[in-house]
């Protein structure tokens, strides 16, 4: 997808009030010329539709001239018990009709938030394709078997890294982290099975809404959102004003 966005030279001039030498953020905007999306083309459930868009994003990533890097990178937003939000990028490692799965440390900041408040959102920022997908739902831990299966598929170094890092805790220095890793590497040489840490595992985000956003000209974007009352209810497709 090479022509999903184009820059309008008429809109690149300076804006009053912007500091000299700074990027002119007020005038910085892309013009979307992408094809629209229609309700009639959308399947009954959002997972199938996600599969179509994900396949496009992944094909872009696989193509050396493609515009997407790490199509499975998504922004996970959580909120703590007081409603204070935070966001970070993680990698989608699986999805099916049960939900969207990522792996992390169960003692990290995001995990503490989820323990207090399971409501989360996921955002896939496929900007170069003028697309984004936003999922809202609740996060639940994957079963231990599923976690262990995925952990075993990770490279040896990443397995050790999961043990070496008390994710999101304050540490004294980089040297401290490197020493912890070196000690683990000596204990578990390459080729040896590393057990999955008990404080590490997956979350499955079970969606209650999935929005597909397609950028269009004149900011008249297409937004189609699947919603359902609960995980056993059927999906309804809605069109949202841009």
Ligand X SMILES: Cc1cc2nc3c(=O)[nH]c(=O)nc-3n(C[C@H](O)[C@H](O)[C@H](O)COP(=O)(O)O)c2cc1C
Phi, psi of 238 (to 5 degrees): -120, 150
Between 49 and 105, whose beta carbon lies closer to ligand X?
A: 105
Closest approach, Cβ 102 to ligand X, in A, equals 5
Contact call for residue 116 and ligand X (CB under 6 A): no
Among residues 58, 90, 180, 185, the one that binds ligand X under rule CB under 6 A: 90
Active site annotation includes 98? no
Between 204 and 225, whose beta carbon lies closer to ligand X?
A: 204
Closest approach, Cβ 183 to ligand X, in A, equals 22
Between 120 and 129, whose beta carbon lies closer to ligand X?
A: 120
Contact call for residue 167 and ligand X (CB under 6 A): yes
Collect contacts of 81-84 with beta carbons under 8 A, ≥24 apart: 81/116, 81/117, 83/117
The residues, any chain, with a CB within 8 Å of residue 168's CB and separated by 6 or more, are 105, 107, 108, 109, 110
Rg (CA), the chain: 21
Site size toward ligand X, by CB under 6 A: 16
| 110 in a labelled binding site | yes
Strands 119-126 and 73-79: antiparallel
| 89 in a labelled binding site | yes
CB 103 within 8 A of CB 201: yes
Contact call for residue 163 and ligand X (CB under 6 A): no
| 219 in a labelled binding site | yes
Among residues 73, 185, 206, 227, the one that binds ligand X under rule CB under 6 A: 73
For the chain, give me the number of helices (H) and strands (E)?
5, 11
The rounded distance, in Å, linking the Cα atoms of 124 and 129 is 11
Between 90 and 206, whose beta carbon lies closer to ligand X?
A: 90
Contact call for residue 110 and ligand X (CB under 6 A): yes
Between 110 and 216, whose beta carbon lies closer to ligand X?
A: 110
Strands (E), the chain: 5-6, 31-32, 73-79, 85-91, 94-96, 99-105, 119-126, 131-141, 200-214, 222-227, 236-239
Q: What's 17's DSSP letter?
A: T
From the list 144, 152, 219, 239, the catalytic residue is 219
Question: What does the block give as tokens for 163?
Answer: 């043990």
Q: What's 52's DSSP letter?
A: H
| 112 in a labelled binding site | no
Contact call for residue 168 and ligand X (CB under 6 A): yes
Which residues contribute to the site for ligand X (CB under 6 A)? 70, 73, 86, 88-91, 102-105, 108-110, 167-168
User: Which residues have a catalytic role annotated?
Assistant: 219
Binding residues: 29-32, 88-93, 103-104, 110, 132, 150, 154, 158, 167-168, 213, 219-221, 223
């Amino acid at each position: 997808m090479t022509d999903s966005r184009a820059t309008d030279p008429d809109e690149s001039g300076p804006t009053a009030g912007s500091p000299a030498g700074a990027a002119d953020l007020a005038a910085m905007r892309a013009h979307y010329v992408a094809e629209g999306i229609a309700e009639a083309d959308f399947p009954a459930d959002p997972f199938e539709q996600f599969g179509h868009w994900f396949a496009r994003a992944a094909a872009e990533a696989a193509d050396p001239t493609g515009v997407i890097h790490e199509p499975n990178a998504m922004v996970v937003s959580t909120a703590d018990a007081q409603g204070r939000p935070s966001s970070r990028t993680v990698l989608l490692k699986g999805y099916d009709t049960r939900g969207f799965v990522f792996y992390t440390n169960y003692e990290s900041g995001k995990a503490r938030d989820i323990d207090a408040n399971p409501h989360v959102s996921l955002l896939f920022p496929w900007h170069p394709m003028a697309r984004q997908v936003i999922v809202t739902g609740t996060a639940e831990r994957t079963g231990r078997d599923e976690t262990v299966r995925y952990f075993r598929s990770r490279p040896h170094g990443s397995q050790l890294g999961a043990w070496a890092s008390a994710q999101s805790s304050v540490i004294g220095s980089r040297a401290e982290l490197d020493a912890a890793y070196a000690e683990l590497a000596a204990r578990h040489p390459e080729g040896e099975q590393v057990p999955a840490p008990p404080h590490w595992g997956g979350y499955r985000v079970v969606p209650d809404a999935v929005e597909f956003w397609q950028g269009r000209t004149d900011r008249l974007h297409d937004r189609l959102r699947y919603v359902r009352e609960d995980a056993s209810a059927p999906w309804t497709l809605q069109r949202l004003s841009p």
